[in-house]
Chain A
Amino acid sequence: SQTIHQWPATLVQPVGSPLSLECTVEGTSNPNLYWYRQAAGRGLQLLFYSVGIGQISSEVPQNLSASRPQDRQFILSSKKLLLSDSGFYLCAWTGQLGGYTFGSGTRLTVV
C-alpha cells in the first residue's frame, strides 16, 4: 500500500534561519507531488507541485523553494525564514483516482 511520510511534525525556527522539510512516498512510482501551506484559519495554498524528478512548478512567488532529487522525495526549503512563513505545511501526492493523500503535516512557527 502507498504511504506518505512527512517530517518533522513541529518546528520552531527564528526569523532568518534556514528551513528544510522532507516528504517521501512509498508504494508507488512517479507520483505527482505537492506542497501546500495552510495559515491559521485560512484555506490551503498551493506552493509547489512536481510531476517528475527535477520538475518543479512554483505557484506563489516567495522565499521558499522546492526540489525533487529522487522520484519519491520532495523537499521544501528556505534560506531565510520570515514571520509570514509560519503555518501548517502539507505534502501530498495524487493516486490513480486523482484525489490527494496528504502527509501528517509540519506545523512551523517562525519566532
Chain B
Amino acid sequence: QKEVEQNSGPLSVPEGAIASLNCTYSDRGSQSFFWYRQYSGKSPELIMFIYSNGDKEDGRFTAQLNKASQYVSLLIRDSQPSDSATYLCAVRSSGTYKYIFGTGTRLKVLA
C-alpha cells in the first residue's frame, strides 16, 4: 500500500515567521510531488510542484525534495494570516495516472 504521511497539526506560527510543512512517502518510484492549499470548505489549489532533488522557490514558497530520504517539504516565508489553511502533499508514482494524497497539515498563522 503506497502511503503519503503528514502531521495533521495544527501547526501554529506567528505572523512573519517561517512555516515548515513536512511530508514522507513510501513509494521509491515516485516521480512527481505537489503541494496544495485548501481553505475550509473550498477545493484544493495547486501551489507548488517539484520533480528533482533540491529546492524550488516561487515567491514566498520553497519546496524541498530529498528522494533518498523519501521526504518532501514546503517552507512558507513571511507567513501571513491568509496562509492559514490545510496543506496537502500529493505524490505521483512513475507510470501511473494516480496521485496519492496525504491527509494534510492544518496551518494557523497568528496575527
Contact = CB atoms under 8 A, between A and B. Distances in A.
Given A102-B43, A103-B43, A104-B43, A97 B49 contact: yes
Given A46-B98, A49-B97, A49-B98, A100 B44 contact: yes
B78 interface: no
A20 B90 CA distance: 27
A42 B92 CA distance: 20
Contact of B88 (A44, A59, A105, A107): A44
Interface residues of B, number: 20
A100 B97 contact: no
A100 B34 contact: yes
B80 to A, nearest CB: 23
Interface string A76-111: 000000000000001000100111111111010000
Given A43-B101, A46-B99, A98 B32 contact: yes
Contact of B92 (A98, A101, A104, A107): A98
A73 interface: no
Contacts, number: 45
Interface string A38-73: 000011101001010000010100000000000000
Contacts of B44: 44, 90, 100, 102
A107 B32 CA distance: 29
A105 B41 CA distance: 9
Interface size class of A (residues with CB under 8 A): 20 to 34
Contacts of A34: 99
A101 B46 contact: yes
8 contacts: A32-B97, A43-B88, A43-B104, A44-B101, A90-B43, A97-B49, A99-B34, A107-B41
Interface of B: 32, 34, 36, 41-46, 49, 88, 90, 92, 97-99, 101-104
Given A43-B102, A57-B97, A104-B42, 7 more contacts: A32-B97, A42-B103, A43-B101, A49-B97, A49-B98, A98-B49, A104-B43
